[in-house]
Amino acid sequence: MSAPKRNALGRGLAALIPGAPAPSATAPPTGIASRRPSDGTRTIAVEEIHPSPGQPRTRFDDARLDELAASIKTQGIIQPLIVRARGQEDGGGYELIAGERRWRAAQRAGLHEVPAVVRDVAPTQAFEMALVENLQREDLNPLEEAAGYQRLVEEFGYTQEQLSERVGKDRSTVANALRLLRLPESVRGLLAEGRLSMGHARALLGLEVAAAMEKLARKIVAGELSVRRVEELVRRSRDGSKTPQPAASAPRTPSASARDLAMRLTRTLGTRVEVLEVGKERGQIAIHYHSLDQLDALLERLMHS
């Protein structure tokens, strides 16, 4: 990830989503106690706030919620929630954009009102703000993050490049996150529970076949295999499944010009490149990579060169 994008995240949601308007100046729905300090926050009754059905985060740790509730009892809610007004057809009140953990913990702490900033934003902006807020706090597990990216792609038409710019993440990070959704459901469950690491999950994707991924995932959990060991097993599995080329198609010994070209490509791309001559005017170029991150970097360079 480049330094400028990290700095962009540090400026907060308003900087990342310049189209988001200032806090709403309209009156709150009837029956809501409201106080508006000069910083734009207001106090809203807890029962008038509703979680967003599109909340990127799906898991809330009870122990951590209890810790946060204890902190709120003594210190109060330091950072206001971000909400949007719901239409009367949706039952009125407010929908959470950011701060569901604080809202849940406030209820455990016995609070009846919470500080909040009301934003007049469209559903697309609301979801994007929720995703970015969770990413800033590193509150999402890898699958929640991937599902959030996928929703922005499918429902709102974002490209991976646009996602990278909007959430302040490197494009390869976004691409690797989306790949996790190709894992079988049982393997995704192990990842969500923390029994598999991101490194394990990304190595498993090299198998491509769901049954093979599930089998190796069980071995990882049972044998506590390291990521490097899993990568080695995946590499052996893939090498063993390759179909040998017919003798007539076997590459010949590289000529001097082919070796020279291979050396120049290796220097340019920063990874081993082979030029394989099959016939007088036919051949293959083999570009070696050793990780998904390196593959993404190579693809980025080749497609944008």
Active site residues: 100
Contact 44, 113 (CB under 8 A): yes
Q: What share of the chain is helix, strand, coil (3-state, %, to 5)?
A: 55, 10, 35
Contacts of 234 (CB under 8 A, 6+ apart): 203, 204, 206, 207, 216
Give, in order, the Cα–Cα distances in Å from 185 to each of 12, 63, 144. Answer: 34, 26, 14
CB neighbours of residue 183 within 10 Å: 23
Give, in order, the Cα–Cα distances in Å from 25 to each of 17, 82, 119, 123, 212. Answer: 19, 14, 9, 19, 57
Rounded to 10 degrees, the C-alpha dihedral 237/240/246/249 comes to 50
What is residue 179's three-state secondary structure? helix
